[in-house]
Amino acid sequence: MSADLRVNGERLWQTLRTFATFGATPAGGVTRLALSAEDRQGRDTLCHWATEAGFHCEIDEIGNQFIRRPGRNPQLAAVMTGSHGDSQPLGGNYDGIYGVLAGLEVLRTLNERGIETERDLLLVNWTNEEGARFAPAMLASGVWTGVFSREYALARRDGDGISVDEALRAIGYRGTAAARAIPLHACFELHIEQGPILEETGIDVGIVRAAMGQRWFEITLTGFAAHAGTTPMDLRQDALCGFAEVALAVERIGRQFADDGRATVGMAQLTPNSRNVVPGRVFFTVEFRHPDANALDRMEAALHAALATLGERRLTVSAGKIFDYAPIAFDPGCVAHIEHAAGALGLTQRSMVSGAGHDACYLNRVAPTAMIFIPCEKGISHNEAENILPAWSTNGADLLLHTLLAAANEPG
């Protein structure tokens, strides 16, 4: 296929701007939580645009939207692309939805050029990728790929006690199609980087070869709450001071594995949380990320070593691992398709590891999968200030177009 074949970048940009009105915030971002009224606006519009372009939009029982462009040989496994339309509270305009709308633009472009593919192309908008309203994240792609059961997902509840099942019915997106994987030849997810590397290095696109594994821990340190004015320093069992030691140890662990690793204390709760009481209890979370499972083992061991020193402070430690998400290695063949297409288009490229979780990470369990990143300004994401440039948007969609064509025209 000629490298001169390109998407309509201006049209793609306008669809992104239109979508940004669904849940728009005064500061220029969006709050479009999964299965909210704002999410329904987006879903309805995506269905309308798909139907207008001549495609059928199918909804499965967990609310995933599938838009199919038939190929010449329906017996061959399809090629999938897509991402998600839900956002974080006070989130950005491009996280997730860029990959969905760029996929739609690819399908529109192929129709307008009269280009046929051997295999079907399947565009998907996954439900509740963010996990901001219903935990856990990547819920519906998890159901589709067999990570979670349908019953588990439908029973998840938000902070107001509303279940996924109830929310799906309320917005009219409790579909009838089975939420389970079908045979796929390849999957490609296009996404903003959500980090600063591509912009800082002036590289056009990132080709994602792997995704970091994640381990989450919940830890409680228990000492003894005591009067701040009458309890001598050497008699205190101060849980907060123990927490401070562990937090700094987590930072040291992260720096030790700084090339590819991440270590974060993201949440802490003090009890009784009073200004004149020595803290008797601290609950907090620790999160490690790394693309190598052995490195994650060493990070976890270092955490337990730091916790073991707290006996000197006469603190009781309770620690549990609540989430263990293995590192992902994406399919070399899919990565090669992206690399070849980027070279043909004259785009500068960089091999990357994703530090964030994506629906593609679950898809990789059932089909050959890889991801494409485009830059985002200052690496800002999950924030109303999240931004990309129209040229970046077009580059990513052009690369997706040529990647999908190559995969969709491979023989059986």
- Walk me through the domains of the chain, giving residue ranges and CATH numbers: 9-211+327-408 (3.40.630.10), 213-325 (3.30.70.360)
Residue 240 has phi, psi (to 5 degrees) of -65, -40
Mean pLDDT of the chain: 96
Mean pLDDT of 349-362: 94
The whole-angstrom separation of Cα 178 and Cα 170 is 19
Choice among 46-50, 322-326, 353-357, 400-404 with the minimum mean pLDDT: 322-326
Q: In this structure, how many other beta carbons lie within 10 angstroms of the beta carbon of residue 83?
A: 27
Confidence at 128, pLDDT banded by 50, 70, 90: very high
At residue 168, does pLDDT exceed 90? yes
At residue 6, does pLDDT exceed 80? yes
Mean pLDDT of 303-311: 97
Residues 175, 63 contacting (CB under 8 angstroms): yes
Residue 371 has phi, psi (to 5 degrees) of -130, 155
At residue 299, does pLDDT exceed 80? yes
Is 358 among the annotated ligand-binding positions?
A: no
Mean pLDDT of 357-366: 95
pLDDT of amino acid 258:
85
368 dihedral zone (left: phi>0; alpha: psi -120 to 50; beta): beta
At residue 297, does pLDDT exceed 90? yes
The whole-angstrom separation of Cα 325 and Cα 46 is 31
pLDDT of amino acid 324:
86
Is 84 among the annotated ligand-binding positions?
A: yes
Is 290 among the annotated ligand-binding positions?
A: no
pLDDT of amino acid 212:
94
Residue 20 has phi, psi (to 5 degrees) of -70, -10
The whole-angstrom separation of Cα 179 and Cα 187 is 17
Nearest to 301 by CA among 266, 351, 253: 253
> Could you give the C-alpha distances from 187 to 39, 124, 183, 269, 355, in angstroms and in order?
24, 11, 11, 41, 19
User: Rounded to a whole number, what is the largest CA-CA distance in the chain?
Assistant: 82
Choice among 38-52, 84-98, 277-291, 313-327 with the minimum mean pLDDT: 313-327
pLDDT of amino acid 259:
79
Q: What is the pLDDT of residues 59-83, one digit of tens each?
A: 999 999 999 999 999 999 999 999 9
pLDDT of amino acid 260:
84
Is 238 among the annotated ligand-binding positions?
A: no
Tokens standing for 394? 């077009």
At residue 2, does pLDDT exceed 80? no
DSSP assignment of 206-249: EEEEEE-EEEEEEEEEE-B-EETTTS-GGG-B-HHHHHHHHHHH
Mean pLDDT of 97-103: 98
> Could you give the C-alpha distances from 404 to 110, 204, 285, 372, 409, in angstroms and in order?
11, 18, 40, 12, 8
The amino acid occupying position 244 is: A
Confidence at 396, pLDDT banded by 50, 70, 90: very high
At residue 272, does pLDDT exceed 80? yes
Is 185 among the annotated ligand-binding positions?
A: no
At residue 1, does pLDDT exceed 70? no
Q: What is the pLDDT of residues 278-296, one digit of tens each?
A: 999 999 999 999 999 999 9
